[in-house]
């Protein structure tokens, strides 16, 4: 694997910092990556000064070294393994991106064919695994089913969970990328009472998934090439995003030595929240509630009023304090899809008005709240006939590529340790047990 170009280091940073805490002082080393902020290594701080650091929400804390994805939030930059997201979106495919994330380099023709063959030939579910679905309530949310199904995957591969064996690790990653679409489509079909389909290996990854989701046994599915293209693009854009909440969850669970299926199931659970992957579903619900372009201003006003507890879903990002580069790409695709599929969706007009109004509004400008990737992805999914409750599941299919890449990287990280944050204790100081008669 080629090493990142060290000439890319732009910042002049000290190689160490001194922290003085009362009488004591400690010299802490500073680590610098190929790009991005340098980090003060605080490992010695508690031993030397008795102090921990406090950083709720990890606003200023790096949890690992990683060579997979780079984000420059101020300048709206996203790169996978050094390749700008704009170039990958234009020239690559989701499966190639998955290979890149996992292996560090783009595949040559032979490597690409082998990878595609391996993924394609691990798409089937064990028949006993399919029967798990029937234990869920008929109206269960597909994300609830996906978490449960993925967590149980380890039970089918218990003889192949030797984390010391690189080939077993690689196969687990392939299995996850291959089977997540099959499981996701099955969860959806179960929830609407359709027979569960089998993967068709003559189709490529995204088209295969769309067939598994939408085709009924009684008639063939006619799929617009634009649908597969748009879905592939969305999968590329969602494939990884460095140490986001779900990926950090995968790594935290992975740090305990848990198997990769359990780690990815935990990642899916973390993704579910509306502050993370659940936002695309929340965006659509919000647009439906706003309903008409005339109601946009009152929604903006409500979002500015802290007491309302309402936020504009699909706006703002922890890292991008400029435009989200994925939102730029997806916005263009959103228009193409709607034009080509002949969808005239009034919600798009609401979305456009909302974007326009928020970008002009002092509250949003001052706080650098721009539309994020989820703002447009929901509208595209809706145009493609994907039901709202499946939006976060779609995100999970794509992000599985990133989760397995991070899990694989963590397995060979010589600095990896069990993740174990500390706390500021705010409970009672020691007190004596009081018997029932004294309470």
Catalytic residues: 317, 374
* Distance from C-alpha of 399 to C-alpha of 394, rounded to nearest angstrom: 9
Cβ-contact 41, 27 below 8 angstroms: no
Residue showing tokens 């748009």: 230
By CB under 6 A, residue 200 contacts ligand ACO: no
Q: Which stretch binds ligand ACO (CB under 6 A): 72-80, 101-109, 168-176, 316-324?
A: 316-324
Cβ-contact 119, 205 below 8 angstroms: yes
Query: Hey, which residues between 362 and 401 contact ligand ACO (CB under 6 A)?
Result: 367, 369, 372-374
Nearest-approach distance from CB 297 to ligand ACO, in angstroms: 14
Query: Which residue's Cβ lies closest to ligand ACO?
Result: 316
By CB under 6 A, residue 315 contacts ligand ACO: yes
Percentage helix, strand, coil for the chain under 3-state DSSP, each rounded to 5? 55, 5, 40
Of 174, 236, 313, 383, the one binding ligand ACO (CB under 6 A) is 313
| Nearer CB in complex with ligand ACO: 275/339 | 275
| Nearer CB in complex with ligand ACO: 136/310 | 310
By CB under 6 A, residue 85 contacts ligand ACO: no
Cβ-contact 263, 150 below 8 angstroms: no
Of 169, 179, 251, 317, the one binding ligand ACO (CB under 6 A) is 317
* Distance from C-alpha of 208 to C-alpha of 424, rounded to nearest angstrom: 50
Q: Which stretch binds ligand ACO (CB under 6 A): 35-43, 85-93, 121-129, 314-322?
A: 314-322
* Distance from C-alpha of 159 to C-alpha of 157, rounded to nearest angstrom: 5
* Distance from C-alpha of 15 to C-alpha of 145, rounded to nearest angstrom: 49
In three-state secondary structure terms, 185 is: helix
Nearest-approach distance from CB 183 to ligand ACO, in angstroms: 21
Which class for 192: exposed (0-12), middle (13-18), buried (19 or more C-beta within 10 A)? exposed
List the alpha helices (DSSP H) in 305-424.
325-340, 346-360, 362-366, 373-383, 391-411
| Nearer CB in complex with ligand ACO: 133/333 | 333
Nearest-approach distance from CB 313 to ligand ACO, in angstroms: 5
| Nearer CB in complex with ligand ACO: 113/275 | 275
By CB under 6 A, residue 214 contacts ligand ACO: no
Q: Which stretch binds ligand ACO (CB under 6 A): 13-21, 112-120, 311-319, 331-339?
A: 311-319
By CB under 6 A, residue 98 contacts ligand ACO: no
Of 265, 312, 327, 380, the one binding ligand ACO (CB under 6 A) is 312
| Nearer CB in complex with ligand ACO: 120/244 | 244
Query: Hey, which residues between 247 and 276 contact ligand ACO (CB under 6 A)?
Result: 275-276
By CB under 6 A, residue 314 contacts ligand ACO: yes
Of 81, 175, 311, 382, the one binding ligand ACO (CB under 6 A) is 311
Give the total of residues touching ligand ACO (CB under 6 A): 18
> From the centroid of its chain, how far is CA 61?
19
Give me the count of residues in the chain: 439
| Nearer CB in complex with ligand ACO: 178/394 | 394
Nearest-approach distance from CB 300 to ligand ACO, in angstroms: 9
Residues 6+ apart with CB under 8 A from 121: 178, 201
Nearest-approach distance from CB 302 to ligand ACO, in angstroms: 9
Element (H or E) spanning 286, and its range? helix 279-290
In three-state secondary structure terms, 58 is: coil
Nearest-approach distance from CB 274 to ligand ACO, in angstroms: 6
Q: Which stretch binds ligand ACO (CB under 6 A): 64-72, 191-199, 207-215, 309-317?
A: 309-317
| Nearer CB in complex with ligand ACO: 212/300 | 300
| Nearer CB in complex with ligand ACO: 214/317 | 317
| Nearer CB in complex with ligand ACO: 199/314 | 314
Please calculate the CA angle 123-125-127 and round it to the nearest 5 degrees: 150
How many CA atoms are closer than 13 Å to the CA of 347, on its beta-carbon side? 19
Max CA separation in the chain (angstroms): 79
Cβ-contact 231, 211 below 8 angstroms: no
* Distance from C-alpha of 189 to C-alpha of 183, rounded to nearest angstrom: 10
Nearest-approach distance from CB 283 to ligand ACO, in angstroms: 7
Element (H or E) spanning 72, and its range? strand 69-72
By CB under 6 A, residue 279 contacts ligand ACO: yes
Buried/exposed code over 141-174 (b: 16+ C-beta within 10 A; e: otherwise): bbbbbbbbbbbebbeebeeebeeeeeebbebbbb
Nearest-approach distance from CB 264 to ligand ACO, in angstroms: 17
| Residues of the shown chain interacting with ligand ACO in the complex, contacts defined by CB under 6 A | 275-277, 279, 303, 311-318, 367, 369, 372-374
């Amino acid at each position: 694997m080629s090493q990142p170009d060290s000439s890319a280091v732009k910042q002049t940073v000290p190689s160490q910092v001194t922290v003085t805490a009362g009488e004591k002082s400690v010299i802490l080393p500073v680590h610098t990556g190929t790009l991005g902020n340098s980090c003060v290594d605080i490992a010695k701080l508690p031993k030397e000064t008795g102090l921990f650091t406090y950083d709720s929400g990890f606003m200023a804390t790096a949890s690992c070294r990683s060579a997979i994805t780079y984000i420059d939030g101020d300048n709206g930059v996203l790169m996978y393994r050094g390749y700008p997201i704009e170039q990958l979106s234009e020239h690559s495919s989701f499966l190639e991106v998955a290979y890149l994330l996992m292996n560090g380099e783009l595949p040559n023709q032979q490597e690409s064919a082998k990878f595609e063959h391996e993924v394609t030939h691990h798409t089937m579910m064990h028949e006993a695994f399919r029967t798990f679905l029937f234990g869920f309530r008929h109206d269960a949310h597909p994300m609830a089913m996906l978490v449960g199904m993925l967590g149980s995957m380890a039970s089918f591969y218990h003889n192949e969970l030797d984390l010391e064996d690189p080939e077993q690790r690689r196969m687990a990653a392939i299995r996850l990328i291959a089977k997540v679409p099959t499981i996701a489509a099955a969860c959806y079909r179960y929830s609407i009472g359709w027979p569960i389909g089998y993967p068709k290996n003559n189709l490529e990854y995204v088209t295969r998934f769309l067939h598994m989701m939408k085709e009924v046994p009684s008639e063939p599915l006619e799929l617009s090439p634009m649908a597969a293209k748009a879905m592939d693009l969305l999968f590329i854009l969602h494939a990884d995003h460095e140490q986001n909440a779900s990926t950090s969850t995968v790594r935290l669970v992975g740090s305990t030595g848990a198997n990769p299926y359990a780690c990815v199931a935990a990642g899916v659970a973390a993704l579910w929240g509306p502050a993370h992957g659940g936002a695309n579903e929340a965006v659509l619900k919000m647009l439906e509630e706003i309903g008409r372009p005339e109601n946009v201003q009152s929604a903006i006003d409500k979002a500015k009023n802290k007491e309302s507890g309402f936020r504009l879903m699909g706006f703002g990002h922890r890292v991008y304090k400029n435009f989200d580069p994925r939102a730029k790409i997806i916005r263009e695709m959103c228009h193409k899809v709607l034009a080509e599929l002949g969808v005239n969706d009034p919600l798009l007009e609401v979305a456009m008005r909302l974007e326009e109004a928020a970008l002009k509004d002092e509250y949003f400008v001052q706080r650098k709240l721009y539309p994020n990737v989820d703002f447009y992805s929901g509208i595209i999914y809706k145009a493609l006939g994907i039901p709202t409750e499946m939006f976060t599941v779609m995100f999970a299919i794509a992000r599985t590529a990133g989760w397995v890449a991070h899990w694989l990287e963590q397995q060979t990280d010589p600095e990896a340790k069990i993740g174990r944050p500390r706390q500021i204790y705010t409970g009672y100081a020691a007190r004596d047990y009081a018997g029932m008669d004294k309470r």
